[in-house]
Structure 1
């Protein structure tokens, strides 16, 4: 299925992302060099570093997927192809926790708390877990923080490479499928306790609405209706949104909803961090509409968080939903 968007597409070559590819493939691009034959049968050797030119692999027409290019030319650089030696017991590594998302008629909001934990310790208080994937989508990470951030960077490069080669953006459905494939490639690491379970959200320009996709450790993808959450505090965040979500939310109400959900998650899950007024650390909140991705400023996030904190002084358990 062709998931590219736009009527006109220009078929390019893998050299469009050559600079990024060199950085990913290591210090010896000459090892990827291949020879070419020109009309007449004369063989021309591939460009090498000594000539100051790119190796032939970077100039050969190929797949619009950077992951496919990397798997052909330097498969050992893919995160999923790395393996750990046999270990006993769980691996202690910083883990990101709770990510939430909610849609509204004009788009979708995606937010995450700022805490990373390592066992029963707080590893970091101000980690960033929500990143733009491209102009109209974003991804929030839960699970092993180091692997998750690396996966997000590769995902960003994958989408950028596709757009440069094809001359059109991948559809939102196609982006969700690409991320699913990347998560599945990390299954071996997940079986050793280093799982990555992101939440993907974006504005579908073809359907004119915001959409949310959740995943499991095997790469299984599910489209969520209205709202979703992932991470250690997701069960509490989802319960909060279940009682407060409405289909006719305004953008401002949707932004307040996700921060309320993160507050409720932090209230019951020790691995989820709530607003830290003393350190001025507030949730990362993003919104994606037909105008594209936008991350709220620290001032905007703090205003939402502080308004919730003030109301919680009167109602510590948060807003009450009607019984009938």
Structure 2
């Protein structure tokens, strides 16, 4: 337990900045050449889709170092609290650290205040953390997340996207970003409709990530041999739930059969 601190508020991030700044990575004086940046693992394509009961968030599993594959099983989608989740694209190490710190931020707030932060308050806290990473972003160490959650006040799933300086923008229906984001967005736009149930949203996400992997070398496609498939989570009024690998595998097989029968 952290004791004898000067900061008494509910923000864990501000607590670290005030009393334990050495625990936050110092990116103020970074100087990196292109070769060093290219050697850093990068997470790529992520997406989110609103549907009738909530919102789906997902991403592929590949990380790259320049033109090389550095990992086939990286996790880009994280549960941040009971009713929210985020996916991260950018420099893998910073992405994972930010996701973990943000989850701790929300847990700390809940323990101090005795209640969950409102959905837009969570989104604003994440924007503040991205703003804190601005110096690193200027040196090419970019973190670009998508944040989703179920808003109990509005009784619907919501999506927020961010730019590298912490700008926060809401998308009403769907969004995708990362190196394969444009290809994924094109597929989602073509297939998206309302009403849309969870099964429909999952199928759209799988096809969008497959299409992105066919066009973008940094996006990992389905790997039946190693049983590596995208990470997908749903957020509804009942909380965050992960779509199982078995279910994703079956839907991918159906997709491939449909494509190659054409």
TM category, shorter: over 0.9
Which of 142, 158, 168 pairs up with 1:195?
142
Query: Secondary structure of the equivalent of 1:56?
Result: coil
Q: Is the 8 A contact 2:85 2:147 kept in 1?
A: yes
Which of 198, 207, 215 pairs up with 1:260?
207
Q: Is the 8 A contact 1:226 1:247 kept in 2?
A: no
What residue number does 2:33 align with? 88
Which of 120, 123, 132 pairs up with 1:176?
123
- Deviation at 1:61? 7.4
Query: 1:263 & 1:249 partners in 2: Cα distance?
Result: 20
1:273 has 2:220 as partner: yes
Flag the structure with more relative contact order, 1 or 2, with Cα contacts below 8 A and sequence separation at least 6. Answer: 2
Matches within 5 A, 1:11-90: 18=1, 21=2, 55-57=3-5, 62-79=8-25, 81-90=26-35
- Which structure has more strand as a fraction of its residues? 2
Could you give the per-residue CA deviations for residues 253-298 of structure 1, whole angstroms, max 9, x where no partner exists? 0111111110111111110011111111111111111110001121
Give the unaligned 5+ runs of structure 1. Answer: 1-17, 22-54, 316-324
Query: 1:264 & 1:228 partners in 2: Cα distance?
Result: 15
1:299 has 2:241 as partner: no
TM-score, structure 1 normalization: 0.78
Query: 2:77 & 2:34 partners in 1: Cα distance?
Result: 30
Q: Is the 8 A contact 1:180 1:221 kept in 2?
A: yes
Give the unaligned 5+ runs of structure 2. Answer: none
Query: 2:56 & 2:30 partners in 1: Cα distance?
Result: 40
Q: Is the 8 A contact 2:48 2:55 kept in 1?
A: yes
What residue number does 2:69 align with? 122
Which is further off, 114-123 or 304-313? Answer: 304-313
What residue number does 1:162 align with? 109
Root-mean-square deviation (CA, aligned residues, Å) is 1.3
TM-score, structure 2 normalization: 0.96
Q: Is the 8 A contact 1:101 1:109 kept in 2?
A: yes
What residue number does 1:205 align with? 152
- Deviation at 1:84? 4.5
